[in-house]
Amino acid sequence: MSEIQPSVLFVCVHNAGRSQMAAAFLTHLGGDRVEVRSAGSAPADTVNSAVVQAMNEVGIDLSAQTPKLLTTEAVQASDVVITMGCGDACPVFPGKRYLDWKLEDPAGQGVEAVRPIRDEIEERVRGLLSDLGVEGGGA
């Protein structure tokens, strides 16, 4: 396979909700055609339980995921960096493509409030796959 595999990094403050959902959808839909990372500028101890529940409803298990600290190396190794409300905490490097997805923060919300955020993230990830020239697979 001679195609270059694009690399995407999703960043939010706690890496416990939005960035976890986005990374899971991109992994699920893009398979091995995309390299996926997620991280937080101030990672939480665990992934938000309402987020885990909402993702289970669409057949994606996040229960084994743990929030990861955003590192300079992760940004440097990524072609596209998608931020979700981390503001100035996200390092900026020349030559990277940056997107800022303005999404409601699921922190402290129940699964009913997380579902529309999850669905919007899935829609954006499908659009991202198209932008990257990666045909969406998966469900």
> Which position among 21, 24, 55, 86 bears the catalytic label?
86
> Which position among 8, 12, 51, 62 bears the catalytic label?
12
> Which position among 51, 84, 90, 121 bears the catalytic label?
90
Answer yes or no: 12 catalytic. yes
Answer yes or no: 74 catalytic. no
Which residues have a Cβ under 8 Å from the Cβ of 57 and sit 6 or more positions away?
111, 115
Q: What are 40's two structure tokens?
A: 């937080």
CA-wise closest residue to 7 among 84, 77, 73, 100: 77
Answer yes or no: 98 catalytic. no
Active site amino acids: 12, 86, 90
